[in-house]
A = this chain, B = another copy of it.
Amino acid sequence: MRFGMVGGGPGAFIGDVHRRAAELDGQARLVSGAFSSGPEASRAKGRELGLDPALVFGDYRDMAAAQNSWEADQRIDFVVVVTPNHLHYPVARAFLEAGVDVVCDKPLTTSVEHAEALCRLTADRGRRFAVTYTYTGYSMLREARHLARSGALGKIRRIQVEYFQGWLARDLESTGHRQASWRTDPARSGPAGALGDIGTHGFNLAHWTTGLDLAEVVCDTATFVEGRSLEDDASVLWRWEGGARGALSVSQSAAGAENDLALTLMGSEASLWWRHTDPESLVMRDHGGRTRVLRRGGAGLSPRAAGAGRLPAGHPEGFTEAMANIYRDFLAGTGYPTVQDGARGVAFVDSVLASARSGRWTDASYSPPGG
């Protein structure tokens, strides 16, 4: 498979993550890109990666347009969209329209309207569209999903997600830090800060592992760093169809936090604990007090979890492999987070921001089109 990338130029950490992940199994190769809107910066990145300069562009529209002028074996099979959020929509649309499958980072778009437009366009064109909710690639979260959905926890009572980062604890954006600049800028990040960047991961994990639909939310947002326009901290109480409750807490201004995501699913029969600091373990304890630690690569895992590893147990895998698992599923055509999952995340952000504004419990039910 040949693929291209839009975004991921100098200073962008996530572009390299996607490249390594997509190429990890030797089944896809990055051949083309519009890495930056600055043509020279884009060419420099292409040279660094050893790409054919003819396939490197300064404008993604030129790259999309080129697809139709190339021979079939010159074209890219899919494009990876790792731009700031506000470009996800136009870039993804351009490539869908050019007949190219899309892998897009989250949040899918900066408005529900755009997200739904992508859902419909993907369906209309019959293309594949993955949204890289990276954590769904972790073997032990796949096992959590299996256990929650198979009834091993009984009825789900509480869904608890914490996601804390500290990198925006100070006014990093004023220093010219590229990532901080666009993520705190409504024009490029969209209406949400921390909720869009990491809150969407938290919501997706909750929905994806349990299969439950969200019903209502109440949300409180805060902006702790002076002069910042978007929230850098948010708390949500959520009510799920079927009665589960719980809380989502996210912050990007918690000094000293690394990338501390934790999921706890509590049920009538058993509960599960997973933490990103020990991603290869999943702790399950039942009402009788029996504790099991399920391990990536270990015995007794469900097929999807067992298949999400490359190394024997005890040889740590991490974030890159999790992302690679999403690419593997995308290439296989099944099991990856879809454009509808992306739309759900955008709708979630919409609901919690509405609640934060009103200070009220707010309807958060949602069903994306084209699913």
Residue numbers of A with Cβ under 8 A of B are 13, 16-17, 19-20, 23-26, 30, 49-50, 153-154, 157-158, 160, 162, 164-167, 169-170, 218, 220, 222, 224, 233, 235, 237, 239, 243, 245-247, 249, 251, 253-260, 264, 266-271, 276-279, 283-295, 297-300, 310-321, 359-361
Contact = CB atoms under 8 A, between A and B. Distances in A.
A144 to B, nearest CB: 14
A289 B311 contact: no
Contact of A224 (B157, B247, B284, B316): B157
A236 to B, nearest CB: 8
Contact of A316 (B218, B268, B270, B319): B319
A151 to B, nearest CB: 13
Given A222-B157, A311-B319, A251 B235 contact: no
Nearest to A170: B287
A72 to B, nearest CB: 18
Contacts of A158: 233, 249, 251, 254
Contacts of A13: 311-312
29 contacts: A17-B311, A26-B50, A157-B222, A157-B233, A157-B254, A158-B233, A158-B254, A160-B162, A164-B271, A166-B271, A167-B312, A169-B268, A220-B237, A222-B243, A235-B245, A254-B266, A255-B287, A256-B270, A256-B271, A256-B286, A257-B285, A258-B297, A259-B315, A279-B316, A288-B299, A289-B299, A311-B318, A315-B318, A318-B321
Which 4 residue pairs across A and B have the least CB separation, nearest first? Answer: A259-B314, A258-B314, A316-B318, A256-B285
Nearest to A153: B255
Given A255-B270, A257-B314, A258-B298, 19 more contacts: A13-B311, A13-B312, A23-B23, A26-B50, A167-B312, A170-B287, A224-B243, A235-B247, A247-B247, A255-B285, A255-B286, A255-B287, A256-B286, A256-B291, A259-B312, A288-B299, A310-B320, A311-B318, A320-B321
B271 A266 contact: no
Contacts of A259: 312-315
Contacts of A288: 299-300
Given A233-B245, A257-B271, A299 B310 contact: no
Contacts of A157: 222, 224, 233, 251, 253-254
B271 A255 contact: yes
Contacts of A19: 26
Given A237-B235, A316-B319, A256 B295 contact: no
Nearest to A26: B49
A176 B154 CA distance: 24
Contact of A258 (B154, B164, B295): B295
Contact of A291 (B270, B287, B294): B294
B246 A249 contact: yes
Nearest to A267: B255
A239 B220 contact: yes
B235 A287 contact: no
